[in-house]
């Protein structure tokens, strides 16, 4: 065999939807066969969806996952399929099944189990100790899973030493801004290191707080991307891999001959498994594909759209609603929700009080018209007056402060949740990462909701996203006045967010250093930040952990989001300065 045709089925799985995930595999196998592929690969934990978390503690879930895998075996007559599943044998393993010509030909068990950031694989799985190579009619194919490909001395090395020409890497690699380029450098390096093809297949879609970017890719032995999958969308990525070119590459790059083969670690094996040749198949010509790129801010925007759309649809909601104030945060949430779900599924609720400016309501109405979404105005002044009257005795003799401000926010939260309960619509929270970090948010008020769209988006990035969306539309979809007016929650007269906090261009870099990069107090001072500013930020971030713990989930788009990524105690006397 001189050419080996590989298909990467970049699908959007759903955790726990065993039947739906298996059906996607069934369709993917059929599509790959029709394209004349010798092998089709699916993402990590295809059958269960990724990440299945504590569903893995349910024995029936494990058994049902195996039953769905077994049901797929007959579908593989005439093709090889690599399918992620949970394998069980006295323990459980994150595994890949190699289904070949109607039989289960082998199983690869993930060797490197990540246990950092959003990953908890040591909590669930036992590591594998065998990295086989499958001889498929003369094509030598190694299979490994996600984290395994990142290590120079990992299974790819042992499979290459055992004769692998092609590595199939199945992945559930979550997105954050900038990760794609970083990830591809590692994968391309493995191809160069060992003079082989690396075929990297990833999930596309959202699961709770995580969003998966797809970007499945095939690298040739020179580390060049041959073909790449779509961004955040399902796709079938197909390429013809020249096995004779592998030999030619190794002859031209004799460095590989000088590298002493690594000794297998104790207990690790790299057997060669010989499979029956597949029958010859018709090979239609492959359509030309461009290696498209996407600008960073567009990538973030698309990640948010994907995360919101999948969270809403996979949880069975038909419509969403949110408070639409005419400010920048609710405006970008409106645009994202509309792009994710369609204008017919989005409802904005304007809830003005005595402190709301006329221009803010006009901006909200203009945006709703531009997006084509439903918009309702429910004034909160009667409820505010009633609450002030009810609390008059208790508050007598005190000066108005944040308590009166937050009453307005909580009335709004109450209204949104009442509408949600009445019609079964999901409430989207509109708070951003900057304000959540500093505690500039109201529990049971603007924090109320089922999903926080921009929870992991700093305020400065919110403005970038709005400008990007307007550029993409070719017009001021989000009114220019929204972008230029000072940010304000409008809970008291002449209120300005940057006066209550710090200017965003100063605040956001400090927050990034402290929250996302874990910089120390001394580090931040050496970076040129003001001592007073750093102390203030550290203090406010630390003391508001209790609020963030009660916030709804939201799309992760940075290296360290609030939630799964960052788990700090609420009761915490440690101070960083």
Catalytic residues: 44, 110, 146
* DSSP of 519-566: --HHHHHHTT--HHHHHHHHHHHHHTHHHHHTSPPB---SSS-BTTTB
List residues bridging with 142 in a β-sheet: 133, 167
* DSSP of 99-137: EETTEEEEEEE-S----STT--HHHH-PPP-B--EEEET
> How far is Cα 257 from Cα 302, in angstroms, rounded to an integer?
45
Residue carrying the six token digits 């060992």: 194
* DSSP of 238-270: EEEEEHHHHHHHHHH-THHHHSPPPPPPTT-B-
> How far is Cα 62 from Cα 388, in angstroms, rounded to an integer?
55
> How far is Cα 332 from Cα 573, in angstroms, rounded to an integer?
37
> How far is Cα 309 from Cα 271, in angstroms, rounded to an integer?
44
* CB contact burial 390-402 (16+ within 10 A = b; e otherwise): eeeeeeeeeeeee
Tell which residue, 433, 216, 462, has the closest CA to residue 328. 462
> How far is Cα 28 from Cα 278, in angstroms, rounded to an integer?
18
List residues bridging with 231 in a β-sheet: 214
> How far is Cα 7 from Cα 240, in angstroms, rounded to an integer?
9
For 289, which DSSP code?
-
> Residue 86 in contact with residue 70, Cβ under 8 Å?
no
For 506, half-sphere exposure in the C-beta direction (CA atoms, 13 angstrom radius) is: 14
* DSSP of 34-81: HTT-SEEE--TTTTT-S--GGGGG-HHHHHHHHHHHHHHGGGGTTSEE
Q: Which two tokens stand for residue 164?
A: 């692998």
> How far is Cα 95 from Cα 93, in angstroms, rounded to an integer?
6
Q: Which two tokens stand for residue 577?
A: 């300065």
> Residue 244 in contact with residue 2, Cβ under 8 Å?
yes
């Amino acid at each position: 065999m001189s050419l080996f045709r590989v298909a990467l089925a970049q699908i959007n799985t759903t955790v726990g939807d065993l039947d739906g995930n298996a059906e996607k595999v069934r369709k993917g196998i059929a599509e790959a066969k029709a394209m004349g592929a010798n092998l089709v690969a699916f993402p990590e934990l295809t059958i269960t969806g990724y990440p299945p978390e504590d569903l893995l503690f349910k024995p029936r879930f494990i058994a049902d996952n195996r039953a769905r895998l077994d049901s797929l075996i007959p579908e593989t007559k005439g093709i090889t399929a690599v399918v992620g599943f949970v394998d069980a044998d006295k323990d459980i393993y994150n595994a890949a099944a190699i289904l070949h010509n109607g039989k289960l030909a082998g199983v690869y068990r993930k060797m490197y189990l990540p246990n950092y950031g959003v990953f908890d694989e040591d909590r669930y799985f036992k590591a594998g100790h065998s990295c086989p190579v499958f001889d498929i009619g003369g094509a030598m194919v190694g299979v490994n899973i996600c984290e395994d490909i990142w290590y120079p001395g990992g299974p790819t090395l042992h499979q290459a030493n055992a004769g692998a020409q092609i590595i199939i890497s199945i992945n559930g690699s979550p997105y954050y801004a900038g990760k794609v380029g970083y990830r591809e450098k590692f994968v391309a390096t493995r191809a160069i290191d060992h003079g082989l093809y690396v075929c990297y297949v990833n999930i596309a879609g959202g699961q709770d707080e995580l969003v998966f970017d797809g970007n499945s890719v095939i690298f040739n032995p020179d580390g060049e991307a041959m073909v790449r999958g779509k961004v955040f969308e399902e796709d079938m990525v197909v390429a013809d891999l020249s096995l004779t070119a592998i030999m030619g590459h190794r002859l031209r790059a004799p460095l590989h001959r000088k590298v002493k083969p690594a000794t297998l670690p104790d207990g690790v094996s790299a057997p060669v498994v010989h499979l029956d040749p597949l029958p010859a198949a018709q090979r239609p010509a492959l359509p030309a594909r461009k290696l498209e790129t996407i600008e960073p801010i567009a990538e973030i925007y698309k990640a948010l759209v994907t995360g919101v759309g999948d969270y809403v649809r996979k949880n069975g909601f038909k419509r969403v609603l949110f408070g639409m104030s005419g400010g920048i945060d609710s405006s970008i949430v409106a645009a994202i929700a509309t792009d994710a779900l369609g204008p017919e599924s989005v409802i904005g609720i304007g809830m003005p009080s005595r402190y709301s400016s006329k221009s803010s309501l006009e901006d909200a109405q203009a945006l709703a018209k531009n997006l084509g979404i439903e918009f309702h105005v429910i004034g909160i002044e009667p409820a505010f007056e009633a609450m002030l009257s009810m609390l008059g005795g208790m508050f007598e003799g005190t000066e108005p402060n944040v308590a009166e401000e937050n009453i307005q926010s909580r009335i709004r939260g109450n209204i949104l949740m009442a509408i949600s309960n009445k019609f079964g619509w999901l409430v989207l929270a509109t708070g951003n990462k900057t304000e959540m970090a500093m505690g500039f948010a109201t529990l049971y008020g603007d924090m109320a909701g089922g999903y926080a769209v921009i929870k992991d988006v700093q305020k400065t990035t919110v403005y970038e996203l709005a400008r990007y969306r307007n550029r993409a539309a070719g017009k001021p979809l989000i009114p220019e006045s929204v972008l230029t007016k000072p940010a304000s929650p409008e809970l008291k007269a002449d209120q300005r967010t940057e006066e209550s906090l710090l200017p965003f261009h100063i605040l956001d870099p400090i927050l990034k250093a402290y929250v996302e990069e874990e910089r120390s107090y001394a580090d931040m001072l050496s970076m040129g930040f003001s001592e007073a500013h750093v102390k203030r930020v550290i203090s406010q971030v630390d003391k508001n952990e209790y609020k963030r713990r009660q916030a709804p989930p939201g799309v992760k788009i940075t290296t360290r989001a609030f939630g799964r990524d960052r788990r700090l105690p609420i009761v915490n006397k440690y101070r960083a300065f």
